[in-house]
Amino acid sequence: MKGKFLVVVLAVMLVLTCAGCKCKHETWIEATCSTPKTCADCEYTEGEPLTHEWKEATCTEAKTCKLCNETEGAPAGHEWAAATCTTPKTCTVCEVTEGEVLVHELSEATCTEAATCVDCGYEEGDALGHTPGDWVETLNMVTACTETTQSCTVCGEDLEFKEESLTTLIDGTVFAFTAEEFTQRLGYMFEEYGFDYTTEAVVGDDGTYFTGVVGDGVYVAVIGFVTESDTLVIGSTRNEKNISSMAGIYYTTDGTEIAYIFMGMIGACDPALSMEDVATICTNSALEYENGGGWAYNGLSYYFEDVDDGVATSIYIDAAYE
Ligand SMILES: [Zn+2]
Ligand SMILES: [Zn+2]
Ligand SMILES: [Zn+2]
Ligand SMILES: [Zn+2]
Ligand SMILES: [Zn+2]
């Protein structure tokens, strides 16, 4: 009987002391990065701890476990791009900024451009605008025009331009052009009229200055100049305004060619004439030549004249020979 009781007691004791062994592990603590899944009642564990799930380091935070927040190493630090006049110092990775933008480096405003940042092109204010100066008048003897120009006193740019044709090239008893200018003007007239001639300076052995008329690569005429004191214009005086008459001498006997060249001379001497007027004067002076005279028009007289080898055409300022 006594022995039977002991067995029972031992059995109860066994049940009590082995409570842990009999735990049904009903309440689990989930595994973490440092501990495996664990029974809350008996601390019995199962499996392995989790492995860290690392989140890469950023500019400001070290490499960190998403599960347990454990960190490793140091933050990466910002990668700064220097400040400019449009953006402050900025991290190229996370775009965080620090401080202020730089001040623009402005150029001086000009007549046509506002003050402009040399670095970024930012414009501040307006362009200053031009400062118109006085009108300056120049004579263009090639086109027989008065050219009037107004320029900016600050930058020198031409702002306005006016052109007015001269009505005469007679200046008292001489022409307003020099022999050199006449040479260029005659070339201009040939072009205006559509005649196929060019002109160039020809200086003779004795220094006499002529306008050479070139057609088809050869001289077809030369025009000589006479001053009021009845001397020929020579090379050294070809830039003086001293011509009171001129004469064209021809190397051609072609009447049409002579007429074209004389028309050029007529038009070059009187800027008020139309091409039709010029043709009429040429015809009239040819007709008067038959009577031994010339044709006067608008202060000038026009002649066909006999010379050794043929014909010459001349133009005189009436006032110089009155
Ligand atoms: Zn348990
Ligand atoms: Zn972790
Ligand atoms: Zn950053
Ligand atoms: Zn700037
Ligand atoms: Zn200006």
104-119 per-position pLDDT tens digit: 999 999 999 999 999 8
pLDDT score recorded for residue 9: 55
Q: How far is CA 119 from the centre of its chain?
A: 21
User: How would residue 32 be classed by pLDDT, with cut points 50, 70 and 90?
Assistant: very high
Q: In the predicted model, what is the mean pLDDT of residues 186-205?
A: 97
pLDDT score recorded for residue 8: 57
User: How would residue 18 be classed by pLDDT, with cut points 50, 70 and 90?
Assistant: very low
3-state DSSP assignment of residue 278: helix
User: How would residue 322 be classed by pLDDT, with cut points 50, 70 and 90?
Assistant: confident
Residue 19: is its pLDDT beyond 60?
no
pTM for the predicted model, two decimal places: 0.64
Ligand nearest to the CA of 132: 5
Strand pairing class (174-175; 243-250): unpaired
Ligand nearest to the CA of 68: 2
pLDDT score recorded for residue 80: 97
In the reported structure, the alpha carbon of residue 123 is separated from the centroid of ligand 2 by a whole-number distance in angstroms of 55
Ligand nearest to the CA of 101: 4
* 76-93 confidence digits (pLDDT tens): 999 999 999 999 999 999
User: How would residue 308 be classed by pLDDT, with cut points 50, 70 and 90?
Assistant: confident
C-alpha to C-alpha distance for 260 and 269, rounded to whole angstroms: 14
Ligand nearest to the CA of 155: 5
In the reported structure, the alpha carbon of residue 15 is separated from the centroid of ligand 1 by a whole-number distance in angstroms of 15
pLDDT score recorded for residue 1: 45
Residue ranges of the domains in the chain? 51-98, 105-129, 132-165, 170-321
Instruction: In the chain, count H helices and then E strands.
Output: 4, 23
pLDDT score recorded for residue 3: 55
In the reported structure, the alpha carbon of residue 49 is separated from the centroid of ligand 2 by a whole-number distance in angstroms of 10
Ligand nearest to the CA of 154: 5
DSSP 3-46: HHHHHHHHHHHHHHHTTGGG----SEEPP-SSS-EEETTT--EE
Six token digits for residue 135: 């009108």
Query: In the predicted model, what is the mean pLDDT of the chain?
Result: 92
User: How would residue 309 be classed by pLDDT, with cut points 50, 70 and 90?
Assistant: confident
In the reported structure, the alpha carbon of residue 87 is separated from the centroid of ligand 4 by a whole-number distance in angstroms of 10
pLDDT score recorded for residue 35: 93
Q: In the predicted model, what is the mean pLDDT of residues 158-171?
A: 96
* Comparison of pLDDT for 1 and 145, the residue scoring more: 145
In the reported structure, the alpha carbon of residue 98 is separated from the centroid of ligand 3 by a whole-number distance in angstroms of 10
- What is the side-by-side order of every strand in the sheet holding 310-317? 198-203, 209-215, 218-227, 243-250, 310-317, 300-307, 295-297
C-alpha to C-alpha distance for 239 and 217, rounded to whole angstroms: 26
Please, are residues 317 and 169 in contact by the beta-carbon 8 Å criterion? no
C-alpha to C-alpha distance for 195 and 265, rounded to whole angstroms: 12
* 254-300 confidence digits (pLDDT tens): 999 999 999 999 999 999 999 999 999 999 999 999 888 999 999 99
In the reported structure, the alpha carbon of residue 79 is separated from the centroid of ligand 3 by a whole-number distance in angstroms of 6
pLDDT score recorded for residue 7: 57
Ligand nearest to the CA of 83: 4
Across 201-216, b (16+ Cβ under 10 Å) vs e yields: ebeeeeebbbbbbbbe
- Say what percent of the chain tops pLDDT 70: 93
